[in-house]
Structure formats: C-alpha cells, structure tokens
C-alpha cells in the first residue's frame, strides 16, 4: 500500500508476488491488479476485501497448482544423436548442392524426393536455381526435417568466392628501365 501520486486522499493497494515460487509457476496465471482506495479505513478495507482478495486467492491457488504439477521448469529435449552429416552449399549462381562424394547413402533418397537432381558433370546433387525462392526454401526445409529425423545432421555453407584474376599488363620493352614509359604505337 502506497499513497497515490497527485491524489492526496487516496492510496494504491496491490498484491505482491508470494515468496517460495519459481518464475515458471506464474506462467499462464492471471495476476490480480491493484486498486485505488480512499483514506477512510473502513471503506478501503471493504474495497480490498471485495475487489482484490478474491482475485489474489484465485491467482495464488493457480500458482500453487502449477508448483505442484510442475516443480521444475520445462526443458526442451536434446537434439537426437547425429550419426552422419551432410553439408549443403549455396553457390553464387543460386544453386544449392552437395558434392556427391560427401552425401551419405541414406540422404540420397531424401534429396531426390525434395527435387534435388544428380548432375554427373558437376559430380553433385543440386537443387536448381530455376525454382522460385519460396519453392527452394520449402524444399530445403523439407529436406532438412527429413534428414534430421533420420539422424543425419545438415550444415549450410556459402561457396568460397572465386578470386578475381588480376588483369595482365603489357611486358616492358627489352632494354627499357623498369618504370619507363613506352612510346605510343604509330599508325
């Protein structure tokens, strides 16, 4: 209970969180609100009894039930053990693929089912860039879900950019010192 700011003859009354409970016990519980009461003790007690205490008792019972049924916080289950792994590579031209030598035998059926194609001249399983971005995202999501369900881990990487070849410069004329300018060719 505290004095209400800017209202000299009123107080704010609000229930406090009870001790001995963990934060996950309050999840999903409608917590009671505070109220403003007059500075008259009998009227204030009547309003608190009628408006605050029933909601507080209901919330406290819900918290106690949560503590009884779930003493420890819920935990996400651990990921299944990975027996094999597959690395999918995004190439600069928009193709997603994996070199065929690195694709586990169990993963090949899944990749075919998700519209990956075996490209013999690239020696890789590829998902062509001809599919729309949304279709490729859905196919990749489906492939990853199916592969992880089989215990095959999936990694994604970008292909290393191809280094730019520096332009070749003309070789200086024989006998000319290294920084000398070459005469312009005559027509």
**Same domain? 24 vs 54:** yes
Domain that holds residue 9: 2-69
The CA distance from 127 to 136, in Å, is 8
CATH number at 132 reads: 3.30.70
pLDDT digits (tens, 9 = 90+) for 37-73: 999 999 999 999 999 999 999 999 999 999 999 888 8
Q: What is the pTM of this model?
A: 0.48
Q: What is the pLDDT at residue 91?
A: 87
Of 161, 175, 139, nearest in space to 128 by CA: 139
**Same domain? 140 vs 110:** yes
Specify the 3-state DSSP secondary structure of 21.
coil
**Same domain? 59 vs 93:** no
Structure tokens at 156: 């994604």
**Same domain? 100 vs 136:** yes
Give Cβ neighbours of residue 12 (< 8 Å, ≥ 6 apart): 1, 2, 3, 4, 34, 35, 36, 37
Specify the number of domains making up the chain: 2
Q: Which of 39-43, 98-102, 106-110, 182-186 has the lowest mean pLDDT?
A: 182-186
pLDDT digits (tens, 9 = 90+) for 137-160: 999 999 999 999 888 999 999 887
The CA distance from 68 to 60, in Å, is 12
């Amino acid at each position: 209970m505290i004095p209400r700011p800017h209202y000299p003859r009123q107080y704010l009354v609000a229930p406090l969180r009870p001790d001995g409970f963990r934060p996950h016990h309050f999840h999903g519980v409608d917590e009671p609100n505070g109220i403003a009461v007059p500075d008259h003790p009998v009227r204030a007690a009547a309003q608190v009894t009628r408006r605050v205490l029933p909601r507080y008792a209901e919330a406290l019972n819900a918290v106690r039930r949560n503590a009884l049924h779930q003493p420890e916080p819920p935990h996400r289950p651990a990921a299944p053990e990975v027996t094999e792994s597959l690395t999918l590579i995004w190439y600069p031209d928009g193709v997603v693929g994996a070199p065929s030598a690195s694709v586990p035998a169990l993963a090949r059926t899944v990749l075919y089912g998700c519209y990956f194609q075996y490209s013999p001249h690239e020696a890789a399983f590829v998902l062509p860039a001809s599919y729309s971005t949304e279709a490729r995202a859905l196919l990749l999501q489906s492939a990853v879900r199916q592969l992880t369900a089989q215990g095959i881990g999936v990694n994604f990487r970008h292909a290393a950019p191809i280094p730019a070849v520096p332009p070749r410069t003309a070789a200086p004329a024989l006998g000319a010192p290294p920084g000398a300018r070459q005469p312009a060719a005559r027509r």
